Amino acid sequence: MSDTTSPRRALVLDPAGTATARAIAARLRAAGHAVETAARVPAEPAGPYDVVVHEPGLLDDEVSGRPAEQLVTALDLLGPRLRPREHGGCRVVVVASRDGLGWPSRPDLAAESGALISTARSLALRLGRTGTTVNVIAALPPEGSPLRDSGRPENTHLYEPEALTPHPVTAQDIAETAAFLVDARSGYVTGQVLYVCGGASLLSSLSV
């Protein structure tokens, strides 16, 4: 069982300084987590961490480096600092993009997102027996992202994928999904990709 006498410790890795990462950190604090934010894994990480969030900036086109490699490196460095299985385990949440399904005007972000998703699934396989879960949130660019309202990609008939819901996706929507995935009641969920896109993932890149 985890130690219930102290708040669960969370590390939000936010190399791009995004509004989404700030919303996730605020949501975790509201849930009672002791949240630490950093651009990369600290030289001397505190831990043990109950939650690790990796938000590399794909939703704002602010990617620095290779997000998939950054995720592997981060979890390698944090390995001894992740809450062990006998004390409740650790929840890892990775923020990717719906572009991993394909989008003509952002092949670079689509490639990074696809690599990040497959890496997270592989890490879920690697870490499952240690009590660490790894899941992905794949979202549309939220309100405020420079990728929104980018118009029709050049030389195609396609438009930016639109949510089927009445309102666009927000950073808070993504934060609420992260809170679900890190909850102790979600401990049997791992290796999954949860699309926070208002249903846009139901449409293929050829029909949106």
77 lies in a domain?
A: yes
153 lies in a domain?
A: yes
Digitized pLDDT (tens) for each residue of the chain, 208 residues in all: 444 446 799 999 999 999 999 999 999 999 999 999 999 999 999 889 999 999 999 999 999 899 999 999 999 999 999 999 999 999 999 999 998 988 777 889 999 999 999 999 999 999 999 999 999 999 999 988 888 766 556 666 666 667 888 888 999 999 999 999 999 899 999 999 999 999 888 875 444 4
1 lies in a domain?
A: no
139 lies in a domain?
A: yes
Q: What is the CATH number of the domain that holds 157?
A: 3.40.50.720
Closest by CA to 195, choosing from 142, 149, 146, 137, is 137
Residue 67 has a CB neighbour count (10 Å cut-off) of 27
160 lies in a domain?
A: yes
Model confidence pLDDT, tens digit, residues 58-91 = 999 999 899 999 999 999 999 999 999 999 999 9
4 lies in a domain?
A: no
pLDDT of res. 1: 44
CA angle 110, 115, 121 (to 5 degrees): 125
Count: domains in the chain: 1
197 lies in a domain?
A: yes
Provide the whole-model pTM. Answer: 0.91
Domain containing 169 equals 9-202
